[in-house]
Structure 1
């Protein structure tokens, strides 16, 4: 699929439209058939509609000409989007609807009166330029709203080639911006990227056999074959890189539009902007960071970092031409880097939201690869986990942005920011990325001039950046083994402080689900307990015993051993359900079953014993849980009046094979069973009921859902004997595998 094929499709459609016009008696004066939108641009995909307008002068009577034209097109199986307007109505429609206005900028003559088409086209462009300053803010709002709704082409799990940020709609908007004569763009670069994305769109149409702009997971393998790249990941990188380039041009152009709109008058001719020196060798010109007069990148290798840091901290545009010159002419930094270079890098990374756009400019112009050759490992690399909203490289930049807000919480902001930059640098290979990333991070930290002890700190943070989040959500914080596991790898309060901040930044950058109120509380609680152990170790004292705070037991539960208390508390991101009852076999299964019966999604949960009571707390994104109804259903299940098994044991299709693993190293006082499978209602209930039937007690449970996968960890014991024997642990694991597989197609 190439531009030549699009041109051939367009020529065929043009001939069809022209023939339909002529054969139905269309005149050559005062009326014309014109193409608009993508058809007007000669960019028909295999299954595109033909956007056509029959235009006529107000004094020209056309009768039923329109219907006579449309019927032959329909008979030819053409899909048309058609309208009939006078020239005045066309202009009025453009004034009333911005989408119509931008579509008309691509108006092209098909048949009829060419002078009418030429006159109308001239009026449309004159109107567009005359009203540009009033209309562009609306176009800006529409563009931002679309981006927020659809997402970024470079980072979406299922990218939309047309509507996404960096997609074809943005490329069309850029042409509309240029038509205002207010700004200019790198035409050759945009056209190259636009044509490449049109090629991809054509292939997706052909593969799908229909008009399709979204690239689903099932398309990538075939798309890779047709693009002649090694695999689906390479195809994703290719497509995402195109989107990034268009997005970067769009962001840069809109920055310049904003600057023009902020002026009281629109400049009528180009003028040389004045330079305001803001740092050695760096100046400000028309709200863009550029090089000062006389600046010599070949003599000052720090210029590139200085210009980038100034632009990011001020949230200004680093002029792409300046970045390209810096990439081309800058002398390589000495190894190790001088202290000032490292400080400038940290300033850049800690600049906050301004980092994103500046970093994109540095990437697009090749500066990042010169400063950090390792970056090519993760550029445009898709994440394996759908919980991540961005590709790996953009996730890293977002992590730096999130970490920049936490630098006052740590003693070594420079170490935090560099660790944030490098924490996922090991992704893309077969080895666990934190393991693969550690030696790379150490090499980079050494190259940029950190001292040996600082290099160790950066390397350790990269190696263990998942430790707090994984441990907090899948292990019992009350079990001494849990804190001991963390303290084994996090050996100082300084490292713990940095790791806690890095964990928060990493989770927030991944998605809102990854840093919910619940997960944040678990991670901070684990960090506090680990700090107590580290301080006690340093002073030679015994760490204080910490445990989950006791919950107040309602009077009805204290008075009646069969009663179950269910309370619901609204939270910022859903609701928190607390259930308290006298501890017995199956009490956790009853609560879990009631949640499953009501189809209440469980995002996370914890359960633990408190004296003779069982306490469980469940986090759900559903903020409208009916506590009374839930309480009634728990009681009905406990009393045998409601059998939930048919509802929760229905066979469902599962993408992930259920796994059940016994973790003997995770606790000295209980047997830990870890269950991983697709997230779906009823899993916790099935597990707890199966264990209850085996007369195995669930001492505590830790439920965590991220994306499509549920990770459920159960600390179990014999009723009176503590840790399960190997035989009993094997029996429990086998029973759980059987029940989960039996309900999974």
Structure 2
């Protein structure tokens, strides 16, 4: 697929439109058939619609020809988006709707009166330039809303190459911005990227056999063969690079537009650029960081880092021309780095939201490779986990942005920021990425001139950056064995505070689900236990859970069901006398309510069982829950019949559940770990299967990670104590059978 293919499709469509116009016997004067949108630009993909408008003068009635012109096109199998408008209606629609206005900038004559088309184009373009200052803020807001809904071509798991940031729609917007004469763009780079994206869309249409702008996982392998790259991963990189390049130009251009709109209309005449010095060799000009000419790039290897840090901290653009020149002319930073170089890097990484645009410029100009050549390992690498919003490289940048808000909570902000930068540097390797990443991170930290203690901190943080969140959500944070699992690897309170900050930043950067109030509470609770243990120098000997006030009616045998407010939903708390099967009944109550459980934990307090369930249904009624619970306990409702998994175990529609016993995870109980597709009923089926065997649940810890439920149960015999090996095997078998479709 090439531009010549699009030109051929456009010429064929033009011939059809001309023939249809002539067959309809429409007038040669006062009416015209006009192509708009992608057809107007001559960029038809294999399954594109034809966007066509029949325009006529106000005093001319096109008669029956206004309807008849479309029939030959329909008969030819053309997908048509058509309209009939007077010239004045077109201009009024453009004045009312900025999207219509930008679309008419691409109007192209097909048939009829060419002077009418020319007048329409000329009038539209003049109005667009005249009203640009008042219309561009509205256009920018539309663009922002679209990006918020669709995401980015470079980072979405299923990118939309038309509507997403860096897609074809943004390239069209850039053409409209240039048409205002207020700003310019790097035309060669933009046009090359735009043509590449058009080629890729053509291939996607051909592979899919339909009009689609979304690139699903089934497309990548065939796309790789069509564009001549090695495999599906290389095809993703090729498409995402193109999208990122357009997105970078787009963001930079809008920054320049905002700068122009913020300044009063200039008087006639030229004036020298206003340079405001901000650091050695660096100045601010028209909202961009540039060189001030007082220091030659060849004389200062730190100019690049200094310019980037200043731009990010001020939340302004780093001039791409400046970055490119510094890449060409500046010497590399001496190794190991001097202290000033490290400080500048940390300033850049800790700059907050200003980092994103500057880092994009550093990537597009090749400057990142000068500072961190290891970045190529994760550049545009897709995440395997569904919980992540972004590709690995963008996730790392977002982690740095999140970590920048936490630097006052740690004693070594520099260590935190560099660990955030390097925490996923091992992704893409066959081995566990934290294991692969640790030696890389240590080498990078040493090259950057960190002392041995800091290098060790950074290496440890990279190696164990998943430890705290994994253990907190899959083990009982109040079990001494859980604390010991952390202190065996994290040995000082300082390291623990750094790991907590990195865990929070990493989770927040992944997605909102990865740092819900529930997960955050578990992680912070465990971290507090660990810090107390490390500060005291003594291992905990018993549970450290804060007691819950038990209502008086529960002491008399009743069950308390309360609905409490939580940060991102509501929390259901159930307190009742402990008994075998209680947790199964509570889980069934919520499953039959069809409310989504994001997280849960349960424990015993003397002879009372307490469970807390974070759910998404904010309108949940405790009276309804009480009614369901009573019906389950009395036997009026059999939840097993309603919650049994449907389908066949052999249908291959979903991954089989996994059930494992972790005998070494606790000294007071046997730990049962269940991973299954997240759906109502899983918790009830597990707890009911255990109750059938007479096994008690001392505590439970439920979490949802993307589409997967990760549930951990600390189970004991009724007489207390861990299960014997044969009993543990029987429990695992019973749970697996309960979760497997019949």
Distance change in 2, residues 1:270/1:55 (3 Å): farther
Distance 2:406 2:266 in 1: 42
My pick for the range that moved more, 124-133 or 326-335, is 326-335
Report the secondary structure of 2:109's partner residue. Answer: strand
Shift in Å, 1:542:
6.4
Q: For residue 721 of structure 1, report the CA deviation from its aligned partner.
A: 4.9
Cα deviation per residue 1:146-199 (whole Å; 9 max; x = unaligned)?
111221222212211111111111111000000000000011111111111112
> Does the C-alpha gap of structure 1 residues 384 and 265 become closer, same or farther in structure 2, counting only changes over 3 Å?
same
State the 1:545 CA deviation. 5.2
RMSD of equivalent CA atoms: 1.5
| Secondary structure of the structure 2 residue equivalent to 1:312 | helix
What SS is found at the alignment partner of 1:476? coil
Whether the 8 Å contact between 1:571 and 1:623 is mirrored in structure 2 is no
Alpha-carbon separation, structure 2, partners of 1:432 and 1:190: 38
Alpha-carbon shift at residue 655 of structure 1 (Å):
3.1
CA distance in 2, matches of 1:218, 1:594: 40
Please say if 1:694 is aligned against 2:689.
no
Instruction: Structure 1: state its 5+ residue gaps.
Output: none
| Pair 1:625-2:620 in alignment | yes
Q: CA deviation at 1:401?
A: 0.7
Residue 640 (structure 1) aligned with residue 627 (structure 2): no
Instruction: Tell me the residue number matched to 2:333.
Output: 333
Q: Residues of 2 paired with 1:270 and 1:304: CA distance?
A: 30
Question: Which structure 2 residues correspond to residues 577-616 of structure 1 after superposition, within 5 A?
Answer: 577-616=572-611
Q: SS at the partner of 2:298?
A: coil
Secondary structure class of the residue paired with 1:27: coil
1:507-541 deviation line (CA, Å, top 9, x unaligned) = 1111111111111111111111001110111xxx5
Take 1:235 and 1:605, find their aligned partners in 2: how far apart are those partners? 41
Give secondary structure in 2 for the equivalent of 1:418.
helix
TM-score normalized with structure 2 length: 0.97
Name the structure 1 match of 2:449. Answer: 449
**Residue 554 of structure 1: CA displacement?**
2.3
Structure 1 residue 547: Cα displacement: 2.1
Contact 2:478/2:526, CA 8 A, preserved across alignment = no
CA contact (8 A) 2:205 2:211 kept: yes
Give 2:549's match in structure 1, choosing from 546, 549, 552. 552
Judge conservation of contact 2:663–2:670 (CA < 8 Å) in 1: yes
| Secondary structure in structure 2 of the residue aligned to 1:191 | helix
SS of 1:149 mapped into structure 2: helix
Name the CA distance, whole Å, in 2 between partners of 1:30 and 1:266.
41
CA distance in 2 between counterparts of 1:379 and 1:55 reads 49
Determine the structure 2 residue equivalent to 1:38.
38
Q: Which residue of 2 aligns with 1:505?
A: 505
Q: How does 1:525-544 map to 2 (within 5 A)?
A: 525-537=525-537
Q: Aligned partners of 2:471, 2:699: CA distance in 1, in Å?
A: 15
Where do residues 47-126 of structure 1 align in structure 2 (5 Å cutoff)? 47-126=47-126
Other structure's SS at 1:568 match = strand
The Cα shift of 1:631 comes to 1.6
Q: Distance in 1 between matches of 2:183 and 2:654?
A: 49
Paired residue secondary structure (2:626): helix
CA contact (8 A) 1:155 1:382 kept: yes
Point out the more displaced range, 715-724 or 496-505: 715-724
Greater Cα offset, 229-238 or 124-133: 229-238
1:174 is paired with a residue whose SS is: helix
Shift of 1:15: 0.5
Tell me, yes or no, if the aligned pair for 2:480 and 2:540 is still in contact at 8 Å.
no
**Map 1:158-177 → 2, pairs under 5 A:** 158-177=158-177
Counterparts of 1:390 and 1:205 in 2: how far apart (Å)? 25
Contact 2:107–2:121 (CA under 8 A) maintained in structure 1: yes
Asked whether the 8 Å contact 2:32–2:112 carries over to 1, the reply is: yes
Who is 1:709 aligned against?
708
Q: Distance in 1 between matches of 2:720 and 2:522?
A: 29
Please state whether the residue corresponding to 1:278 is helix, strand or coil. Answer: strand
Q: Which moved more, 1:85-94 or 1:374-383?
A: 85-94
Structure 1 SS opposite 2:273: coil
Question: Aligned to 1:29, what secondary structure does the other structure show?
Answer: coil
Structure 2 residue aligned with 1:735: 734
- Aligned in 2, Cα 1:725/1:535: closer, same or farther, shift over 3 Å? same
Distance, in Å, in 2 between the alignment partners of 1:269 and 1:224 is: 52
1:468 equivalenced with 2:465 (yes/no) = no
Q: Whole-Å Cα distance in 2 between the matches of residues 267 and 294 of structure 1?
A: 29
CA distance in 2, matches of 1:524, 1:668: 23
1:669 aligned partner: 668
- Tell me which residue corresponds to 1:216: 216
Please give the alpha-carbon distance, in whole angstroms, between the structure 2 residues aligned to 1:49 and 1:110.
16
State the 1:288 CA deviation: 0.8
* Aligned position for 2:515: 515
Q: TM-score, normalised on structure 1?
A: 0.97
Partner of 1:240: 240
Count of paired positions: 738
Partners in 2 of 1:172 and 1:247 — Cα distance? 12
SS at match of 2:641: helix
The whole-number CA distance in structure 1 between the counterparts of 2:581 and 2:222 is: 49
Paired position in structure 2 for 1:356: 356
Instruction: Provide Cα deviations, 1:646-669, integer angstroms capped at 9, x if missing partner.
Output: 221131575333111111121111
Give 5+ residue unaligned stretches, structure 2: none
1:227 is displaced (CA, Å) by 2.9
How far apart, CA to CA, are the structure 2 residues paired with 1:409 and 1:620? 30
Secondary structure (helix, strand or coil) at the match of 2:331 reads coil
Secondary structure of the residue aligned to 1:81 is strand
Distance 1:570 1:721, change over 3 A: closer
Q: Which moved more, 1:627-636 or 1:13-22?
A: 627-636
SS in 1 for 2:495: helix
Task: Report if the CA contact (8 A) 1:529-1:546 is conserved.
Answer: no
Q: What CA deviation, in whole Å up to 9, does each residue of 1:688-719 have, x standing for no partner?
A: 10011011111111101011111111111111
Q: Distance in 1 between matches of 2:172 and 2:226?
A: 26
Q: Which piece of structure 1 moves more, 143-152 or 124-133?
A: 143-152
Work out the CA distance in 2 between the residues paired with 1:151 and 1:185.
23
- Does the 8 A contact of 1:335 with 1:449 survive in 2? yes
Q: What is the rounded CA distance, in whole Å, between the counterparts of 1:481 and 1:187 in structure 2? A: 62
Q: Which region of structure 1 is more displaced relative to structure 2, 651-660 or 202-211? A: 651-660
